[in-house]
């Protein structure tokens, strides 16, 4: 048994035999020619045929993986029309009196090197595209049949292993016979990785699989990013179970996808997902969440070495709003401090950061930072259904002050002629103080979202980072559950909705309790959306 | 001659697909269109050259349009940048 790690291009589990796809090493020979004109004509005819083939691949790809993912084949066609590329080939044929194959190979290598040398991971990948189109032209010139198809008479399924796969090779593989892709080179940015994701096939790249693996039994774990070659009985059984679990999840998805989340008594619960980065959006859509209940905006600050500008923030918020296409997107404003520290904020050391200078306290103390974020949020509101949520509220005056600043920002935008929509405005309930005055806070806002992690730590006076306190930490503590009930009741009395976006929201043993309490919204990690929906439908 | 500057907002910069679309757009017109960044300039009707510039997010390019239909071309290309990049 041998474990090999790789980079994950797409998750999933596959068990089966490996089939190695090796390209014939087309050694291009340099041949002296007499008639350069005729050779150029031969090249141009081959180029036309290659372009024609790519057109066919484009049509196939549009059908199988959609227009956006098929676009690469259109780009390939255009590369074959590129004047610089064509000039280079013609030049080499003429100046060196060499055969078209050699001229194309040389040109392909030169352009590939240009891309490979760029200091941009995405552009480096484009070297493979240039090589792919050049090889295609060379193959046409050598009048060889294209052969990548694995489809045999028996239609056995395989894990495909290769040094690298060009997008054109990936799309030509018979999907019915492919269990997974494992390539020795390539990156998660490559088009093959993107195609694998669209085709829903587990894929690993940059995986050091040995050469002699053809026909061997293997497991591809696309969640952990490992390939296990010649697995032992126990591992095999373990993975068969994992595969079954994953299948069950997929079935749950099929069964529950698109269904409204309604309790037996007929109340619809808003079931949203929590995300921390723009790239988590895929998981939100895959798991069929009705919206985003908590978008932690901290990543913008944590991944930056300076205060993110209004435009930088605007782009991220706009993307999320657009991708969610009109579904609710609740964005929590800056929640820095406590366990999340950032150098450029220049925060002083605190003995007790959880009770210190953090979140809305920073925003009210340094309104410039806050205003930049609010401006970006309001501008992005034009592109979807954005709500703004403020963390760490303990007093009514804080909410009023935030609203005042928001009004100032709106007035600025209006005077600058920048459009924005009126957004829902809510607060997180995560301090015991906010729970006790929830009835007063409810008059100021459109919704409450209970942050159970902080609320529990503040209520039980237990530091959740301290493992020594585990025996004292009870996430189902009656004090916390009573508080949740109080918050829901206060919200309903004022005619606003209340939800939970903390970890407790995804606790399936409490789902029924929350429904009975009258909860209106639950926001959970994307993977938990369907299990929670299943629970609610039966609650 | 007409020209404008544009700061790229797309996460991936001028990557393969928009570069291809840009070249297509440019070829709709007679005018010569040039793309310039940091003193390096390329013919915007040449795909590999455009991609080879490696324009990233937040970088600014200057687009120059020169020819009989430069007004229409400049408007169309500007609109293209604003919508796609």
Q: For A301, which DSSP code?
A: H
In the beta sheet, which residues pair with residue A427? Answer: A390, A448
A311 contact residues in B (CB cutoff 8 A): 9
- Contact: A78, B47; criterion CB under 8 Å: yes
pLDDT value at A150 more than 50:
no
CATH code for position B35: 3.30.1340.10
- State pLDDT tens for residues A35-74: 999 999 999 999 999 999 999 989 988 888 778 778 888 8
Say yes or no to pLDDT of A130 above 80. Answer: yes
Q: Which residues of A touch B48 (CB under 8 A)?
A: 79, 82, 84-85, 111, 114, 130
Residue A452 domain boundaries: 263-537
CATH of the domain at A70: 1.10.274.10
Q: For residue A47, is it within any domain?
A: yes
Give how many domains chain A has, as a whole number: 3
Residues A305 and A192 in one domain: no
The interface predicted TM-score of the complex, written ipTM, equals 0.87
Q: Which domain holds residue B60?
A: 2-84
Q: Are residues A121 and A59 part of one domain?
A: yes
**Are residues A508 and A367 both part of a single domain?**
yes
Q: pLDDT band for position A531 (50/70/90)? A: confident
What per-residue confidence (pLDDT) applies to A153? 46
| Whether the Cβ atoms of residue A20 and residue A213 lie closer than 8 Å to each other | yes
What would the pLDDT profile of A67-106 be if each residue is shown by its tens digit? Answer: 877 888 888 998 998 988 999 999 999 999 999 999 999 9
The answer as to whether A414 is a domain residue is yes
Q: What is the pLDDT of residues A274-330, one digit of tens each?
A: 998 887 888 888 888 999 999 999 888 888 889 999 999 999 999 999 999 899 999
A364 token code pair: 């009210």
Last residue of a domain, one of A109, A141, A173: A141
Of A177 and A477, the structure prediction assigns the larger pLDDT to: A477
Least confident interval from A19-33, A170-184, A473-487:
A19-33
Chain B residues touching residue A376 (CB < 8 angstroms):
none
Residues A227-255 pLDDT 10s: 999 999 999 999 999 888 888 877 887 78
CATH at residue A195: 3.50.30.10
Do A356 and A396 fall into the same domain? yes
Percent of all residues in chain A with a pLDDT value above 90, rounded to a whole number? 53
Are B17 and A315 an interchain contact pair (Cβ–Cβ within 8 Å)? no
CB contact under 8 A, B19 and A75: yes
User: Measured between alpha carbons, how far is residue A181 from residues A111, A195, A303, B71 in Å?
Assistant: 27, 11, 31, 50
Q: How confident is the model at residue A26 (pLDDT cuts 50, 70, 90)?
A: low
Pair (A380, A508) in one structural domain: yes
Q: What are phi and psi of A464, to 5 degrees?
A: -75, -10
pLDDT per residue as tens digits for the range A384-396: 999 999 999 999 9
State whether A109 and A163 are in the same domain.
no
Say whether both A182 and A331 belong to one domain: no
Q: Same domain for A376 and A471?
A: yes
Residues A271 and A403 placed together within one structural domain of the fold: yes
User: Does residue A149 carry a pLDDT above 70?
Assistant: no
Q: pLDDT band for position A340 (50/70/90)?
A: confident
**In the prediction, which pLDDT does A279 show?**
78
Looking at B15, B32, B56, B78, which residue is catalytic?
Answer: B15
Mean pLDDT split into 10-residue runs, chain B, 85 residues? 90 86 90 90 90 89 92 91 89
A62 and A208 part of one domain: no
Q: How many domains does chain B have?
A: 1
State how far the Cα of A380 lies from the Cα of A377, in Å rounded to an integer: 5
Residue A145: is its pLDDT beyond 60?
Answer: no
Q: Is residue A229 part of a domain?
A: yes
| Residues A354, A357, A363, A364, CA torsion sign | positive
């Amino acid at each position: 048994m041998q474990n090999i790690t790789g980079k994950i291009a797409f998750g999933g589990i596959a068990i089966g035999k490996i089939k190695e796809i090796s390209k014939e090493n087309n050694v291009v020979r340099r041949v002296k020619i007499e008639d350069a004109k005729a050779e150029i004509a031969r090249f141009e005819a081959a180029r036309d045929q290659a372009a024609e083939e790519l057109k066919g691949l484009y049509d196939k790809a549009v059908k199988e993986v959609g227009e956006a993912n098929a676009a690469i084949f259109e780009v390939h066609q255009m590369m074959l029309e590129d004047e610089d590329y064509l000039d280079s080939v013609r030049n080499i044929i003429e100046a060196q009196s060499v055969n078209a194959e050699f001229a194309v190979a040389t040109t392909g290598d030169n352009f590939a090197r240009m891309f490979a040398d760029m200091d941009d991971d995405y552009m480096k990948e484009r070297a493979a595209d240039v090589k792919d189109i050049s090889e295609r032209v060379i193959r046409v010139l050598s009048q060889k049949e294209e052969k990548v198809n694995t489809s045999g008479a028996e239609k056995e399924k395989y894990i495909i292993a290769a040094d690298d796969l060009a997008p054109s090779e990936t799309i030509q593989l018979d999907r019915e016979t492919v269990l997974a892709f494992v390539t020795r080179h390539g990156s998660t940015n490559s088009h093959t990785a993107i195609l694998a994701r669209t085709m829903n096939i587990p894929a690993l790249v940059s995986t050091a699989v040995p050469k002699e693996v053809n026909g061997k039994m293997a497991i591809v774990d696309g969640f952990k990013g490992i390939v296990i070659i010649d697995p032992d009985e126990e591992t095999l059984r373990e993975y068969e179970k994992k595969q079954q679990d994953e299948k069950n999840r997929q079935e749950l998805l099929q069964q529950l996808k698109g269904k409204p989340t309604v309790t037996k008594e007929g109340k619809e619960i808003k079931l949203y997902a929590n995300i921390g980065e723009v790239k988590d959006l895929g998981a939100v859509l895959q798991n069929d969440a009705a919206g985003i209940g908590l978008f932690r905006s901290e990543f913008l600050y944590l991944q930056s070495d300076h205060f993110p500008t209004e435009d930088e923030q605007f782009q991220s918020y706009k993307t999320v709003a657009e991708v969610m296409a009109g579904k609710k997107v609740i964005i929590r404003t800056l929640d820095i401090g406590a366990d999340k520290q950032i150098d450029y904020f220049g925060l002083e050391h605190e003995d007790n950061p959880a009770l210190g200078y953090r979140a809305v306290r920073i925003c009210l103390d340094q309104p410039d930072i806050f205003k930049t974020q609010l401006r970006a949020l309001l501008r992005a509101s034009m592109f979807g259904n954005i709500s703004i949520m403020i963390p760490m509220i303990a007093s009514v005056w804080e909410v009023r002050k935030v609203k005042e600043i928001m009004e100032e920002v709106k007035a600025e935008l209006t005077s600058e002629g920048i459009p924005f929509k009126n957004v829902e405005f809510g607060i997180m309930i995560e301090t015991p103080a906010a729970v006790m005055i929830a009835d007063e806070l409810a008059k100021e806002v459109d919704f409450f979202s209970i942050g159970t992690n902080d609320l529990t730590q503040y209520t039980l006076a237990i530091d959740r980072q301290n493992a020594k306190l585990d025996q004292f930490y009870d996430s189902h503590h009656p004090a916390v559950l009573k508080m949740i009930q109080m918050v829901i009741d206060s919200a309903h009395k004022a005619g606003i909705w209340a939800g939970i976006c903390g970890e407790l929201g995804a606790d399936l043993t409490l789902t029924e309790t929350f429904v009975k309490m009258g909860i209106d919204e639950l926001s959970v990690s994307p993977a938990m959306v369907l299990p929670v929906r299943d629970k609610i439908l039966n609650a | 001659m007409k020209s404008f500057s544009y700061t790229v907002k797309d996460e991936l910069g001028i990557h393969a697909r928009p570069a291809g679309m840009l070249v297509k757009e440019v070829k709709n017109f007679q005018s010569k269109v040039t793309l310039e960044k940091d003193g390096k300039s390329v013919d915007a009707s040449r795909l590999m050259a455009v991609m080879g510039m490696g324009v990233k997010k937040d970088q600014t390019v200057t687009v120059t349009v020169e020819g009989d239909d430069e007004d229409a071309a400049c408007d169309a290309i500007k609109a293209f940048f604003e919508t796609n990049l």
